[in-house]
Structure 1
Amino acid sequence: MPKLEVVAARTEPWALLRAAAEETVRGEPHLASQLNAVILSHNDLASALSFQIARKLGDSELGAMSVREICRDAFDADPRIVASAEADLQAVAERDPAIKSLLQPFLYFKGFQALQAHRVAHWLWGQGREALAFHFQSRISELFQVDIHPAARMGSGLFLDHGTGIVIGETAVVGDEVSMLHAVTLGGTGAERGDRHPKIGKGVLLGAGAKVLGNITVGDYAKVASGSVVLKDVPAGCTVAGVPARLVNCPTGATPARTMDHTLADIVYDFVI
C-alpha cells in the first residue's frame, strides 16, 4: 500500500494539505508566497478551495472576488460540496501512484480543479442561475479542457485522471467512487432532446478515450476499456471493450475504480452487448 494512502486513511485531507504546504515552503521558498495565499492563510478546506477556484476562474468579466463570494455562498448553502471535495482528494491519494502529496491535485491537477468548479456551477444551476452556471462551465472548459454541463450530476470520491478532453452531457449522472481518464465522453447519440445521456454506476472505471453514448446505464463496478464505444447497457460488475463494445468478462473485479486496473481478460465473449 502506498505511503500516502496509509497516512490519508487516518488523517483529514485538510491536515494533510496544510502539512504538505508547510513542508514545501521549507524546501522551496520560491513557492512560499503562493502556498501562503492559497493554503496556509486559511483555516479550513472550504476557505482555501473558494480561494483556489476564484484565482483560477476569475477574469476581466467576472473578477476573482466575485467568484470567491459565489463559492462561499454555495459552500454555506450546501456543505456536501466541500465534503465531496474532501472525498475527491482522498480518491486521488488512494488511486494515483504518481502523486507525492495532496498539493498536486489541489494546486495543479486539471481534473480535480475542474470537478470542484463544476460543483459550484451545478449548485448555481439548481438555484435557477443558469447564465452564471454557463459562465462557470465556459471558464472551466477554457482553463482545464474539461467540459461538464452544469446540470450533470456528479457523485463524490471521483478521480478524473489527467482530465484533458473529458466531456459530460447535460443529463448524465456519475455515481460515487468513479474513476475516469482523459478524453472520456458521456454524450448523446444525436440531436435528441430530454434524458439522453449515460448513467454511470458506483465504482465504475472508464478508460482513456472511452465513449459512452445515449441514455444507457453502466452498472456498478463495471469497467469500460480504453477507446471503447458503448451504445448499450453494461451489466454491473462486467468489463466491456471494443468498437462497438463487447463483453470481455463477468465479473470484472470487486473495485475497478479503486484498483485502476485497465488490463483485460484473455477470452472475449463473441456477442455484442
Structure 2
Amino acid sequence: MALARAAEHASLWDVIRDDAQALARSEPAFAAWMHEAILNHDDLGGALAQLIAVALGSDSDDRAMVRRIAKGAYRSDPTLIPTAHRDLAAPLARDPACPGPLHVLLHFKGYLALQAYRIAHRLWLDGRVELARDLSVRAARALHVSLHPSAVIGGGAFIDHGTGIAVGEDVVIGDDLSMLQGVTVDHAIDARGAPRIGHGVLLAAGAIVLGPIAIGDYAKVGAGSLVTASVPSGCTAVGVPTRLVNCSPDARPASSMDQSLP
C-alpha cells in the first residue's frame, strides 16, 4: 500500500512538471514563472516551499525565511508531503471544473492556505507557538483564509474559492472535508468548546458552525446556514437556525461520532 501511494504521488508530480513544461513552451510569458515555481524543484515539497514563500513573504529576505521554515517543517514531519498530495488530489476528484493539478497548485489559494496551515500546525505542535501564529496571520492577510494553527484538519481537504474562511482555535475536522467560501467554524461567544467536524463533511458557502457541537460523518451544511446544535451523520442541515433534512432512518447521532478524528 505504501509503495502504491508513493508511485501515485510520483506520478502526480510528473504530471505537474509535464504540464509546467508544456505551458512554458506554449506561453513564453509564463516560462520564467514555471521554472521558478515548478521546474527548478525536485518534488512537491520544494515547489510548495517556494509558492508559500512568494505568497507570504514581503521581500526577498522575508521570502527566504518563510522558505526555510517550510522546508524545515517538511524535513521534520515526513507526513506533510503525502498529505499535500492527498489535498491536491481532492479538487481533482470533487470539482468537475478543475483543469488539472498544476492549476490547483498555482491558482487555488484555498489549497495554498491549507498547506501554509499545515506547516503552522507542525510548528504549533513543536512548541514554536509565536512562529506558528505569525505564519497563520501572514496566510490570512495574503490569502484571506484564516486557519488557526491549533486546529486539526484531516487529509484530503478541499477548500474551494477560499475567501473569507475562518477556522478557530481547537477545532477538529476529519478527513475529506469540502468547504466553500465564507465558512466560519469557531467557538460560540457564550459557550466554551470548539466544533468537531466528522469525515467527508460538506460545508457550503457562508455556512457558520459555532460552539461545542459535533457534525457527523458525511453530513452537509447548506449555504448560509447557522449551526449551533449537533448534526447526525449523513444528515443535511439548512436554514437559520438550522433544521435537519434528508436524514436516513438509521442516521447515527453526532454525539456518538468516531472519537478517532485526527
Q: Structures share a fold, TM > 0.5?
A: yes
- 1:105-146: per-residue Cα shift (whole Å, max 9, x none)? 211211001000010111111111111111111111111111
- 1:142-163: per-residue Cα shift (whole Å, max 9, x none)? 1111111110111110100000
- 2:252 is aligned to none
SS of equivalent to 1:63: helix
- 1:201-216 equivalence runs, <5 A: 201-216=198-213
Structure 2 unpaired stretches of 5+: 1-7, 250-262
- 1:167-178 equivalence runs, <5 A: 167-178=166-177
- 1:6 is aligned to none
1:12 is the counterpart of 2:11: yes
Q: TM-score, normalised by structure 1?
A: 0.85
1:81 is the counterpart of 2:118: no
SS of equivalent to 2:188: coil
In terms of mean alpha carbon deviation, does 204-213 or 92-101 score higher? 92-101
Q: CA deviation at 1:48?
A: 1.1
- 1:226-272: per-residue Cα shift (whole Å, max 9, x none)? 111111111011111111111111139xxxxxxxxxxxxxxxxxxxx
Kept in 2, the 8 Å contact 1:239–1:251? The answer is no
1:185 is the counterpart of 2:184: yes
Q: CA deviation at 1:222?
A: 0.6
The 1-side partners of 2:180 and 2:94 are apart by: 12
- 2:260 is aligned to none
Kept in 1, the 8 Å contact 2:191–2:212? The answer is no
Kept in 1, the 8 Å contact 2:162–2:182? The answer is yes
Kept in 1, the 8 Å contact 2:183–2:208? The answer is yes
- 1:10-61: per-residue Cα shift (whole Å, max 9, x none)? 9732122112111111211110000001101111111111111111111259
1:49 is the counterpart of 2:48: yes
Kept in 1, the 8 Å contact 2:151–2:170? The answer is yes
Structure 1 unpaired stretches of 5+: 1-8, 253-273
Aligned residues: 242
Q: 1:24 to 1:238 in 2, by over 3 A?
A: same
Residue identity matched to 1:216: I
Residue identity matched to 2:212: N
The 2-side partners of 1:144 and 1:47 are apart by: 20
Residue identity matched to 1:240: A
In terms of mean alpha carbon deviation, does 47-56 or 175-184 score higher? 47-56
1:235 is the counterpart of 2:235: no
- 1:78-103: per-residue Cα shift (whole Å, max 9, x none)? 11111111001100111112221212
- 1:246 is aligned to 243
- 1:98 is aligned to 97
- 1:126-137 equivalence runs, <5 A: 126-137=125-136
The 1-side partners of 2:35 and 2:60 are apart by: 26
The 1-side partners of 2:26 and 2:170 are apart by: 46
- 1:199 is aligned to 196
SS of equivalent to 1:203: coil
The 1-side partners of 2:107 and 2:9 are apart by: 24
Kept in 2, the 8 Å contact 1:210–1:229? The answer is yes
The 1-side partners of 2:105 and 2:112 are apart by: 7
Residue identity matched to 2:21: E
The 1-side partners of 2:243 and 2:119 are apart by: 37
Q: CA deviation at 1:209?
A: 0.5
The 2-side partners of 1:137 and 1:47 are apart by: 20
Q: CA deviation at 1:62?
A: 6.6
SS of equivalent to 1:70: helix
SS of equivalent to 1:100: coil
Where has structure 1 moved over 4 Å in runs of 4 or more?
none
The sequence identity of aligned pairs, in percent, is 46
The 1-side partners of 2:107 and 2:70 are apart by: 19
